[in-house]
Chain A
Amino acid sequence: MNMKSEKEIRETEKVRQIGEELEPVFVDDILMSLKYYVDEEQAHLKIKDSEACKTCVGRGCLYFCPVGVYSLQADGTIQVGYQSCIECGSCRIRCEKDNIEWKNPRGGFGVAYKFG
């Protein structure tokens, strides 16, 4: 059993390296194809406690968000670019500290797919 988990850990590490070695995409290039009705008055995504992000080990939001809404600041906090959110819900259920206040944008706002 022990051996198996060690092997699994090795494999995870291997894949993790591959993940880091993926050629990065400049996310703005793909966002240009999207249409949004941006709610300028109200952000539908908020970090509940910005201090909690400083001690977050995984910082998964920097990886799983399909439009790169979350970016790491020099002081260890996370900045939220809610304007480019496509409302998939990944951060809502995956933030390991449950530190993201996630709402749907107000009616009429947010992403508007042309083709889907």
Chain B
Amino acid sequence: MPKTKQKKNKKLSFDLIVVGAGLAGGTAALSAARKGLKVALIERGQTPGGKNYFGGTVYTHALEEVFPDFWKRNPPLERPVTEAGYWMLSETGMTRITVQGGELLKNPADAYIGMMAKFNAWWVEQAQAEGVFLIPKTLVVDFIRDARGAIIGVQTDRPEGEVYAPVTIICEGVNNILTQKAGLIDHDLRPETVALVVKQLISVPAEDINARFGLPDSDHGLAVSVIGDISLGLTGLGFIYTCKSSVSLGVGVDLDVLDNHHARPYDLMQRFLKHPQIAPLVAGGQMMEYGGHLIPEGGWRQMPKLYGDGVLVAGDAAAMVNALHWEGTNMATVAGKLAGEAAFEAHQRKDYSAGSLKVYQDKLNDSFILRDLRQYRNFSHFLNTHHDFMDVYPGFINTALGKFFSGFGQPKRQLYRDILRSLTRRKPLLRAVGDIVSFGRTIIGW
């Protein structure tokens, strides 16, 4: 009994608390621990990665930035991305625009297909080996603040579960409940700025994957976005990633359109899997896992303030996603690293105020993260207002190429007329030109 009494009087204190052991949190904790800080990494799941779900790919530049000897560590990754691009579905057909070889034949490759729960667990093991103290199965429910309102610790759901530190880095993921509680953002996620993605992992023997996807061997992998018939004209798209002996296929749709159109995500998913061009790819396969996750696609315009008194935020909680380039894991990793370093610098100054922690924002401004997010700030809105890029244009491309490669023995002038008409039937020509111009402007960031 006296033992518990003693415990009661002793505060559980660290130099830094990181909430959430995903890629952002794991990296934030690691980079601070490397500098000598005593770090608590709090994870609500049974193990790190247990709540993490993605497509998807991780990016070599971010991994090597954290571990220069990354490849010697034998990371649990699936296949390098050696072919990437777009598949455009019509009702029964498909046009593929993919690139392979060339830029994608580096060793190591720029991107690797992985399984996030496995990779995430491994990533945090690396962090623990460098001194990070992991507290799993623990939910952070609120913050502890000092008299001035600065965050000086967290309240967990464990009995006597207060943990103290002068800095807390929030890496809670897309459901930014703590980010809101910290006062870093004044509104909840908006349904039109998040995509709900559902995915199935389907086991297929490696040699069948290689044959069906046209990959020379298991050291080659394919990552594609699928547009067109998949989303029924809603803002959304599909994706396919080849793992070693399984295929990851998913559909993502803006959350606000699902119920507006009485479409259930798993029904859309099944429709995708039954598409005549898709079904043969996974025929005979067993479903290994189904799951779903929100992606914060609002970007720049939906970002919270990134620092406050005693607090920083990184990763999905800070909407660090570039939807067009499939970037998210790398932003989380690099932002986590920068947040950990900013926490260390605050310790050196012994100043944990917002003014001191602002260095994190400065670091992000210099990195690709905020530069890109600023440049793409209108992209989310663009997609919401230009559904045609998901549906009408892929349909047109299929029709046009289909006619071009099948119109034998008929006057070609008529053929071109038919092709043009198949576009103008869908969309006035001037509007189509306007769409392409505004797409360009959105990408350039004007």
Contacts and interface: CB of A to CB of B under 8 A. Distances in A.
Interface in A53-73: 58-64, 66-68
Interface in B139-164: 139, 156-158
A89 B51 CA distance: 12
Contacts of A62: 259
B53 A116 contact: yes
B47 to A, nearest CB: 8
A34 B290 contact: yes
Contact of A115 (B201, B232, B258, B265): B201
A12 B287 CA distance: 33
Contacts of B118: 115-116
Contacts of A63: 258-259, 262-264
A116 B44 contact: no
Contacts of A93: 188-191, 194, 255
A113 to B, nearest CB: 4
B196 A23 contact: no
A74 interface: no
B294 A116 contact: no
B290 A88 contact: no
Contact of B138 (A33, A90, A107, A116): A107
A106 B157 contact: yes
Contacts of A61: 259
B136 interface: yes
Interface in A79-116: 86-90, 92-94, 104-108, 110-116
A15 B387 CA distance: 13
B116 interface: yes
Given A64-B258, A67-B292, A90-B294, A15 B233 contact: yes
B175 A92 contact: yes
Contacts of A105: 44, 139
B175 A86 contact: no
A58 B258 CA distance: 11
Contacts of B289: 33-34, 113-116
B84 interface: no
Interface in B110-132: 115-120
B260 to A, nearest CB: 7
Given A112-B50, A116-B53, A25 B270 contact: yes
B261 A107 contact: no
Given A107-B157, A108-B46, A19 B115 contact: no
Contact of B117 (A12, A33, A104, A116): A116
A1 interface: no
A106 B157 CA distance: 7
A52 interface: no
Contacts of B44: 104-105, 107-108, 110
A3 interface: no
A23 B325 CA distance: 32
Interface string A11-44: 1100110111011110100110110010000000
Interface size class of A (residues with CB under 8 A): 35 or more
Given A23-B270, A116-B116, A111 B156 contact: no
Contacts of A58: 259-260
Contact of B259 (A18, A60, A92): A60
B139 A106 contact: yes
Contact of A30 (B119, B189, B290): B290
Interface in B241-269: 246, 255-256, 258-269
A60 B117 contact: no
A58 B257 CA distance: 12
A26 B116 CA distance: 26
Nearest to B286: A33
B147 to A, nearest CB: 28
A24 B44 CA distance: 33
A107 B271 CA distance: 36
Interface in B215-234: 232-234
The 6 lowest CB-CB distance pairs between A and B, nearest first, are: A116-B117, A60-B259, A108-B137, A66-B292, A116-B116, A19-B263
Interface of B: 44-47, 49-54, 115-120, 136-139, 156-158, 174-175, 177, 188-191, 194, 196, 198, 200-201, 232-234, 246, 255-256, 258-271, 274, 287-294
15 contacts: A18-B261, A19-B264, A23-B274, A30-B290, A37-B46, A64-B196, A64-B258, A64-B264, A66-B266, A107-B137, A107-B158, A108-B44, A108-B137, A113-B51, A116-B118
Given A68-B266, A93-B255, 14 more contacts: A15-B232, A16-B262, A18-B261, A19-B262, A66-B265, A66-B266, A87-B175, A88-B294, A93-B194, A108-B44, A113-B53, A114-B117, A115-B115, A116-B52
